[in-house]
Structure 1
Amino acid sequence: MPTHYVYLGLGSNVEREIHIDMALSMLEEHIDPLRRSPIYESASIDPRQSPFYNLVVGGSTDLSLAELNAWIKDIELLHGRTSSTQRFIPLDIDILLFDDLAGLHEGIELPRAEILDRAFVLYPLQQLAPHLKHPGLGISFAELWRQLQPGPQLSSVRYPFGVSSFALTVQAGRFPLPGDPCQLAAI
């Protein structure tokens, strides 16, 4: 089977920690190795909705584009995503990139248009793949990020969820000193 490289955008505004954790575990079934960006909180585009947690993941898969799309739609459904217009979104997974495809493929527009104008998509994507070029534009994602007009503010979210900064510091092999702000990179 051929191997494809994919990038997916994930978001949740309902029980965000639970749905993001479960989705990451489920995605490891067909994406290996699963690389992930840090997680960010951002205001919803719709002011009636709760803030979202967003991140981007990337990795190799043996699934075709159609199989990948069907599989992630099944994952969304398992998490309670029943409509693209629902206000509370337990889990949203979008295919951002599939290899270097550009244009309409299997009913999916690639690369996903939101990459170019949504900070919560472009910023984590350029963190994972700063030198990778947008298949349609030939410009690196890091350069696209530099060109993006200011959008919604992103706030970093500690992951793994529920772990104190002391535990994260110890896991990173460093013991904090009293008053140490523990500024850690994403684990």
Structure 2
Amino acid sequence: MSRPFPTPPVLAYLLLGSNLGDRAAHLAAARHHLAAGAGAIVAQSGLYETAAWGREDQPAFLNQALAVRTSLSAEKLLAACLAAEQAAGRERAEHWGSRTLDVDILFFGAEICASPALTVPHPQLAGRRFALVPLAEIAPRLRHPQLGLTVAELLARCPDPLPVRPWLGQEPAP
């Protein structure tokens, strides 16, 4: 009986986001959850406060990019991301609505995945400044496997005008 070979680790890039409750605490809990279940976090950006994208009539988000060295498949990494969201009390009431936690897979190594549950690289990455700014902090030379451009080049060409600012570390009073 042959044993399957272990999966070589892949460097995956994730984007964390929160715009409900103690946003920074939700991101910290997500980092802890992902480190325990998805793999080693080898790089993380600072926190950025970003205007809501898609539905702008909601509170601002905190966003952070992570580089995670994982031995999980892309689908199992997605399951770990969804588990982190569930642990944070994420409710999927409306598309692009407010949320305690959102975890997106931006890149999974240089792989291109397209399934009903997961598309990687993230299909809207090139048009989202809130994702590109933190990602450019930790991986400016990372090349998009379909577009052939680096993250820094994607950011320079990004049409999204919404502001993305380093977070100063204070949550607003309730």
TM-score, scaled to structure 2: 0.84
| Structure 2: tracts of 5 or more residues without a match | 1-5
> Is structure 2 residue 34 aligned with structure 1 residue 24?
no
Measured after TM superposition, the shift of residue 54 of structure 1 is: 0.6
Of the three residues 128, 135, 146, the one matched with 2:138 is 128
**Aligned position for 2:76:** 67
- Unpaired runs of at least 5, structure 1: 163-187
Q: Please list every run of at least 4 consecutive aligned residues from structure 1 whose deviation after the TM superposition is greater than 3 angstroms.
A: none
Instruction: State yes or no: 1:43 paired with 2:51.
Output: yes
Structure 1 residue 93: Cα displacement: 0.2
List per-residue Cα deviations over 1:44-85 (Å, max 9, x = no partner).
121221110011101211111111111111111111112162
Give the conservation status (yes or no) of the 8 Å contact 1:102–1:111.
Answer: yes
Q: CA deviation at 1:150?
A: 4.8
What's the offset of the Cα at 1:116?
0.3
Q: Rg: which structure is higher?
A: 1
Find 1:137's aligned residue among 139, 147, 156. 147
Letter in 2 for 1:25: H
- The separation in 2 between residues aligned to 1:120 and 1:84, in whole angstroms, is 22
Q: In the alignment, what sits opposite 2:3? A: none
Distance in 2, matches of 1:150 and 1:67, equals 31
1:7 match: secondary structure: strand
My pick for the range that moved more, 57-66 or 146-155, is 146-155
RMSD over aligned Cα, in angstroms? 1.9
Instruction: Tell me whether 133-142 or 147-156 shows the greater mean CA deviation.
Output: 147-156
Greater RCO (Cα-Cα under 8 Å, separation 6 or more):
2
Structure 1 residues 4 and 136: alpha-carbon distance in aligned structure 2, compared to 1, 3 A threshold: same
Q: Secondary structure at the match of 1:34?
A: strand
Identity level (%): 30
Structure-2 separation of matches of 1:53 and 1:83: 18
Letter aligned with residue 50 of structure 2:
S
Bigger shift: 146-155 or 77-86? Answer: 77-86
* 1:101-152 CA distance string (max 9 Å, x none): 1241473111102210010101111221111110101111111111123521
1:114 aligns with 2:129: no
> Residues 81 and 41 (structure 1 numbering): CA distance in 2 closer, same or farther, change over 3 Å?
same
1:88 offset after TM fit, Å?
2.8
In 2, the alpha carbon distance for the partners of 1:146 and 1:84 equals 34
8 Å CA contact retained: 1:42, 1:52:
yes
Aligned partners of 2:128 and 2:160 also within 8 Å:
no
1:34 aligns with 2:42: yes
Q: For residue 124 of structure 1, give the secondary structure of its aligned residue in structure 2.
A: helix
The AA in structure 2 aligned to 1:31 is G
